[in-house]
Amino acid sequence: MALSTINFEIQAGVATLTLNRPDKLNSFNTQMHAEVRTALKTLARPGSARVLLLTGAGRAFCAGQDLSDRAVAPGARAVDLGKSIEKNYRPLILALRKLPMPVIAAVNGVAAGAGANIALACDMVIAARSAGFVQAFSKLGLVPDCGGTWMLPRLIGNARALGLTLLGEKLSAAQAQDWGLIWRCVDDEQLMPIASGLARQFAAGPTRGYARTKQAIYASWGQSLSEQLNLERDFQRELGGSADYREGVAAFLEKRTPNFTGR
């Protein structure tokens, strides 16, 4: 596909999507939304890839919305932010969550506003030590979007969620790890080697099992224990008939590395 705001490639089962507007700190405009949507639709097709690695070019992961794309002239009607969210950000967050594969965010610099919550919508977040997360919405008189008001309390509790969102202060990657907001904080020079290695590990793993695992974890937030036990039963019944399960058992008994195919 012809791309101007992102880089997107698939190699050996690893899809890498790089937000590529470094001069704008990889903030989203209408064109970037369209290109990311196209890339994610590609990944929704069976067999296209087995893991997605999301990162940013230059010194930022993503600074959220490009406000110059929403400039309002004096005296003009206000921009309908709800329409923009409904058209662009809502489907983006849901698409990341629903991809039938692990999704890794490699946060290479600041992740602010929508950029922070897009990272948190990924299944696993690895951040460079110099990176930071900023819920910048309060500085603009807005409410956190892209699922921020849903994810933050669940990840770090109400007190910390309210502190981050009301104050809009930067949270370091190291503190984000300590709070359990992200999976891991690493030295800057190790970010992409570690994230890429993890992506290759997932690409060689049992893709259907990964997909059902993330689905079960996310479903658990809105279900009773009894309902969750039923879901686990149903998923185990399905996966127990998979080629990867048979291969996993055979490899265990034969004391060898399994050769998973994602089926």
What is the structure's pLDDT at 2?
Answer: 77
For 160, phi then psi, to 5°, come to -70, -35
79 versus 104: the higher-pLDDT residue is 104
pLDDT of 186 strictly over 70: yes
Which residues fall within 8 angstroms of residue 22, CB to CB, at 6 or more apart?
56, 57, 58, 59, 60
pLDDT bin (cut points 50, 70, 90) of residue 78 is: low
Task: Enter the pTM of the model.
Answer: 0.93
CA–CA separation, 126 vs 129, rounded Å? 10
What is the structure's pLDDT at 143?
Answer: 96
pLDDT of 126 strictly over 60: yes
Paired strand residues for 15: 10, 52
What is the structure's pLDDT at 84?
Answer: 84
pLDDT of 44 strictly over 90: no
pLDDT of 73 strictly over 80: no
Phi-psi group of 12: left, alpha or beta (phi > 0 → left; psi -120 to 50 → alpha; rest → beta):
left
Q: Each residue of 200-251: pLDDT tens digit?
A: 999 999 999 999 999 999 999 999 999 999 999 999 999 999 999 999 999 9
Considering the chain, what percentage of its residues have pLDDT values greater than 90? 90
Considering the chain, what percentage of its residues have pLDDT values greater than 70? 96
Mean pLDDT of 158-185: 98
Domains contained in the chain, CATH given: 6-203 (3.90.226.10), 207-253 (1.10.12)
